[in-house]
């Protein structure tokens, strides 16, 4: 997910910020990502302004040690987790988990796209949608595709190159074949 040529990438837009040096622990979303509520896509989430603001206030970021990326904490361990060797952080409240290494070292645009994606999931769950249903598979999951489309719209507005986005969408838990399917599902043509 981390590109090799950071100079070619746009930075996350101001006033979005990243508190990169936080030790493991729980924090308010806007302490970890100050300015999140001031960036243009925040007003485009499909819910009212008061609801968005309330959801941000009620969402925590859990910084965990190690090389974990970013995900919404399930309320309980999903049934498939043990079979794939995953031991997720769980939370009864709205919580987005981010690995300390990812927070400290990933390009700002990666973290920006990640938090846009994960906050989409927070809103989906508030609407009663199931985030951890893998019966469709990850690359066909309606909630994943919706969250990726939201963050990709912003990436394209900022001029993030498709070469980076293809790499960004190559997540370690999907096969190369499923990665190609995800790209197709998200509208990447074979030549883009």
In this predicted model, what pLDDT tens digit does every residue of 77-99 receive, in sequence order?
988 888 888 899 999 999 999 99
pLDDT tens digits, one per residue of 40-62: 999 999 888 889 999 999 999 99
Q: What is the pLDDT of residue 7?
A: 53
Among the residue ranges 33-37, 69-73, 128-132, the one predicted with the least confidence is 128-132
- Hey, what long-range contacts does 176-185 have (CB within 8 A, 24 or more apart)? 178/137, 178/138, 178/139, 179/139, 181/139, 181/140, 182/138, 182/139, 182/148, 185/139, 185/140, 185/145
pTM: 0.92
| CA distances for 61 relative to 41, 85, 91, 154, angstroms | 19, 23, 11, 22
Among the residue ranges 20-34, 73-87, 151-165, the one predicted with the least confidence is 73-87
- Is 87 or 118 the better-scoring residue by pLDDT? 118
Contact 99, 64 (CB under 8 A): yes
């Amino acid at each position: 997910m981390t590109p090799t040529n950071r100079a070619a990438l746009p930075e996350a837009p101001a006033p979005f910020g990243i508190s990169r040096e936080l030790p493991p622990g729980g924090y308010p979303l806007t302490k970890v990502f100050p300015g999140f509520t001031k960036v243009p896509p925040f007003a485009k989430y499909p819910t009212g302004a008061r609801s968005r603001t309330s959801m941000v206030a009620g969402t925590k970021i859990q910084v965990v040690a190690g090389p974990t990326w970013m995900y919404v904490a399930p309320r309980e361990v999903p049934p498939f987790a043990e079979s794939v060797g995953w031991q997720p952080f769980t939370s009864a409240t709205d919580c987005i988990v981010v690995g300390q290494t990812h927070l400290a070292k990933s390009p700002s645009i990666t973290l920006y796209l990640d938090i846009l994606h994960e906050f989409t999931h927070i809103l989906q769950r508030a609407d009663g949608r199931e985030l951890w249903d893998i019966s469709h598979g990850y690359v066909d999951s309606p909630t994943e595709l919706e969250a990726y489309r939201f963050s990709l719209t912003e990436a394209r507005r900022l001029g993030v190159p498709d070469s980076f986005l293809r790499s960004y969408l190559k997540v370690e838990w999907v096969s190369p074949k499923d990665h190609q399917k995800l790209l197709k599902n998200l509208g990447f043509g074979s030549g883009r």
